[in-house]
A and B are shown apart, each in its own frame.
Chain A
Amino acid sequence: MDSHNTSAINPAPALGASRPFRLRRNGLTAQIAGRVGSGLLVLWAAVTLSFVSLHLAPGDIVSLLIGEQLRTPEVEAAIRAEWGLDEPLLSQYLSYLTRILHGDFGRSYILQTDVSQLVLSQILPTLKLTAAALVVAIVFAVVSAVLTAGRRIPRSVAGALELTLVSTPSFWLGILLLYLFSFTLKLFPVSGDRSFSALVLPALSLGLPLGAVVGQVLRQGLERALEEPFALTVRSWGTSGLVLRLRHGLRHAALPAVTLTGWLVGSLLSGAVITESVFGRPGLGRITVEAVLGHDMPVVLAVAILSAFTYVTLSTLVDVLYLLLDPRLRDESRESAR
């Protein structure tokens, strides 16, 4: 997973370092093949690591499944036979891999349901929450950066607010928002994945801390851009300050912020667990935590594959966004292809 993120972070084009999109003729297919290949490698590594680490963790699956209930040799045997736990570890691992290749993610040990269905039923609420949180984060970051960059007092006010948001545990932020906007003002409902209004508070509590981090990076980038000579040129055309910031400055400032956002979105998926339980929302986060605690291997593996897939997709998306944002990268790739 990491190799992809670093490949996305390192080139930080604003600093003029080496760039991933310097292509030769017929290099595009090689590039795509490389991406797919390393993507598969990441998926395999995620499955293998999850499998190994769950087996290294204390507590065997049979005991966890029996819990505090009656335990007899017959019961143990029935559970082992049901889940194929009596086979050696290596063959369990191989049979998992084979089944996954055939699109069969198995059944959950604990919930007894089909894992693909389980994950599919939870992925939509999670995606909705993540997308809404992302919108909140971007809007917050852009507004805060554009309005305050280079202005002394607004800058320090926004900085203090961002620091508070970043350092507030999302649990507290969630409870705070609930008390204020749901229990007291009764503006938004507390729970579930039901209507748009039920999405507002969870998205705020998940998105604001992210927006605060990105906002700080964006503001710095914007300030650097505003000091560059082109800013003076644009001003000399008589363009207003706001237009300068929005149309010209923001593009320059966006690259590091996009990298950071791409990376943080991955963490939104894992950070969602607390938000999900505070707001009583369905979602992958809660399922994952419960599955890891209960050594529910089929669920853990499915989630591992899904999150590895998400990371790979995101880092590719970030690379494409670079091309859209910075024309110089596009020109260079065209030049080197010539």
Chain B
Amino acid sequence: MLVRRHFLSLGAVLLAATALCAPALASDRKPVSGGKLTWGVETEPATLNPQLNGQDKTKLLLRNAYESLLARTAEGGYVPWLATDYDISEDGRTYTFRLRDGVTFTDGQAFNAAAVATNFARLKDATYSGSVSAGPVARIIDIKTPDERTVSFTLDRVYAPFLDYAAGLELLSPGAFASGQLKSGGPEIAGTGPFILKRYAKGQEIRFARNPDYNWAPANAGHQGPAYLDEVTYRFLPESSVPTGALSSGQVDVIEGVSGNDAGLFKGHADFSYQTALNTGTPYSLFLNVTWGPTEDVRVRKALIAAIDVDGVLKSVYRGERTRAWGITSPVDTQFYDKTIEKSYGADPKRANQLLDEAGWTSRDPQGFRTKDGKRLTIEVVQAQATVRDQRDVLLQALQAQARQNAGIDLAIVFVDAGTYTERRKTGQFGSIANSNTPTDAIDIEYHYLPVDRGGSINYSRAAAPELSQWLKEAASTLDHKKRFELYARLQRFAILDQAYALPLYEPEDQVAAASYVKGIGFRPFKQMPESAYDLWRSE
């Protein structure tokens, strides 16, 4: 028997699509083509090659030019895009995609099975893709192109997150792999997208022009055919207070990244629209190192978690503009988030103090911190100075105050340069590192909970309990959704409640604010990142 997955029938898709964009249309006239748009963004891409770029904040602009095989629905399903259909073999190891006809890359090359195969084959080569080669592509043992429109990948064994990866990989023109710009990205690297990358001025802006031949939008996009805008320019404004001023004075039309304090400028204002979406992936959490310092003791870890009132801290730091997190993955991940963990722990200073007494941290020094054998109970939170954003420095300071006040724990925040940060991560000499990530399909959980040397590249609790690997392996090697959910739920209880590896703090989110004449703004279904400019149009 072939395990075959069919898409919704065309009619159902169209219905869903109309329903999706209905609110946008109801409030205004029919979308009009033409015009230019300027979008202020905070983060500049390190590379414009979407396959090598790991910065989530730059996806919104790269997706204008580069597309993938399947698009996702809000519920986590898949709809056709550059592939019209896919199936998974009975043994769960071979993925076959049937490709859409009539698609061309913007450099004129044909989009066909060979082109897709080239992309995956090249990604397996570490000299091209570096760390990416160690990711899901490493599991591919065979790539076949039985005909012009069919491509299939066979894995060494069942790996459930592969579909998410393969369906979402941005595909480059085969011609790109011969270009000198391959690794840095740039106008020579063609994709199939609704816009063509025209000009990149480092440190200033990146400009895309409409692809007039475009006619292959995903089935759940806001419209079909070419994009509305003639041209869209993303301007880099790295200083966080500048984009808001630029938008309110009319110098840019859209911005992303609005701080909690500035949200009020646009929220509910007639001249602007303001939208937010919670990120997917692991929430911003304080990971507690189980191999170094006082946090080696599970009682100390549990005490820290019990000592802190996360709700109170978030309210004071973000004015209620951020969402409390409880688990190992985002509450918007409808596939694998088990919400029974909510409100099951925390904010219990009495228990915190009891645990610390039990652990032998009984005496106090003149500053009021607990000590044991003359040593202060210090948990060192290492933070790379350059990556502080979203007022996380303030958040950490608020946690520090609570830990001290409620339990006599010295949560020392150490700001370091990128080099020292790398060094401390590598040697494991830190008490805690706070971090979040955004991959979906439980890949975020693998990165955080597999052993450090077995794919847990950001396993900052450095947990290596055999149960973790066992559950993760089991969950990844079955396509049975319900079974996977149960395994991740079990892991969540073990990691947070039993072992206190991490204190989940809040779910990072994306914000987009725009002048009211900009229509069609939205977030990518399921992945929740700001969407490309494809559906945007100007109503004036």
Contacts and interface: CB of A to CB of B under 8 A. Distances in A.
Interface of A: 57-60, 63-72, 74-75, 77-79, 81-82, 110-113, 118, 121-122, 125, 175, 178-179, 182-184, 186, 189-194, 276-283, 286-287, 293-295
Nearest to B452: A71
Interface residues of B, number: 46
Contacts of B246: 182-183, 190-191
Interface in B415-432: 417-423, 425-426
21 contacts: A58-B422, A59-B420, A60-B423, A64-B418, A69-B130, A69-B132, A70-B131, A71-B131, A74-B134, A75-B131, A75-B133, A125-B203, A175-B239, A191-B242, A191-B251, A192-B235, A193-B204, A280-B238, A282-B203, A287-B203, A295-B419
Nearest to B386: A293
A25 to B, nearest CB: 51
A280 B235 contact: yes
Interface string B232-251: 00011111011001101111
B458 interface: yes
Contacts of A58: 417, 419-420, 422-423
A146 B455 CA distance: 69
Contact of B458 (A68, A113, A279, A282): A68
Contacts of B183: 112
Given A75-B130, A78-B127, A111-B46, A280 B418 contact: no
Contacts of B420: 58-59
B46 A110 contact: yes
B134 A191 contact: no
B418 A71 contact: no
B43 to A, nearest CB: 12
A118 B47 CA distance: 13
Contacts of A65: 130
Contacts of A81: 127
Nearest to A110: B46
A179 B245 contact: yes
B205 A192 contact: yes
Given A65-B130, A293-B386, A280 B239 contact: yes
B235 A69 contact: no
A278 B133 CA distance: 37
Interface string B110-144: 00000000000000001100111111000000000
A190 B131 contact: no
Given A58-B423, A111-B47, A280-B235, A74 B126 contact: yes
Contacts, number: 146
Contacts of A277: 238-239
Contacts of A72: 134
A190 B203 contact: no
B46 A64 contact: no
A183 B241 CA distance: 11
Contacts of B184: 111-113
Candidate in B203, B204, B249, B420 with the most chain A CB atoms within 10 angstroms: B203
B89 interface: no
B418 A278 contact: no
Nearest to A193: B204
B248 A183 contact: yes
A294 B238 CA distance: 18
Contacts of B131: 66, 69-71, 75
Contacts of B386: 293
Given A74-B126, A75-B130, A278 B417 contact: no
B126 A293 contact: no
Contact of A293 (B133, B134, B417): B417
A112 B386 CA distance: 21
Contacts of B46: 110-111
A108 to B, nearest CB: 8
A280 B237 contact: yes
Contacts of A182: 245-246, 249, 251
A78 B127 CA distance: 5
B10 interface: no
Nearest to B421: A59
B245 A183 contact: yes
A71 B423 contact: no
Nearest to A121: B202
B242 A278 contact: yes
B204 A191 contact: yes
Contacts of A78: 126-127, 130, 133
B251 A189 contact: yes
Contacts of A279: 242
A202 to B, nearest CB: 12
Interface in B164-197: 183-184
A77 B202 CA distance: 30
A287 to B, nearest CB: 7
B133 A74 contact: yes
A183 B249 contact: yes
A121 B203 CA distance: 10
B419 A278 contact: no
Nearest to B244: A183
A326 B435 CA distance: 62
B426 A63 contact: yes
Contact of B418 (A113, A186, A283, A294): A294
Contact of A70 (B135, B202, B242): B135
A293 to B, nearest CB: 5
B264 interface: no
A58 B457 CA distance: 20
A82 B423 CA distance: 22
Contacts of B455: 70
Contacts of A281: 203-204
Contacts of B3: none
A111 B200 CA distance: 13
A113 B203 CA distance: 14
B239 A283 contact: no
Nearest to B420: A58
Nearest to B424: A58
B457 A70 contact: yes
Given A186-B250, A294-B418, A178 B126 contact: no
Nearest to A190: B246
Given A183-B246, A191-B237, A293-B386, 5 more contacts: A77-B126, A122-B202, A122-B203, A192-B205, A280-B237
B202 A282 contact: yes
Nearest 6 A-B pairs (CB), nearest first?
A59-B419, A282-B203, A69-B131, A78-B126, A112-B183, A183-B245
Given A63-B426, A190-B237, A283 B203 contact: yes
A191 B248 contact: no
Contacts of A69: 54, 130-132, 457
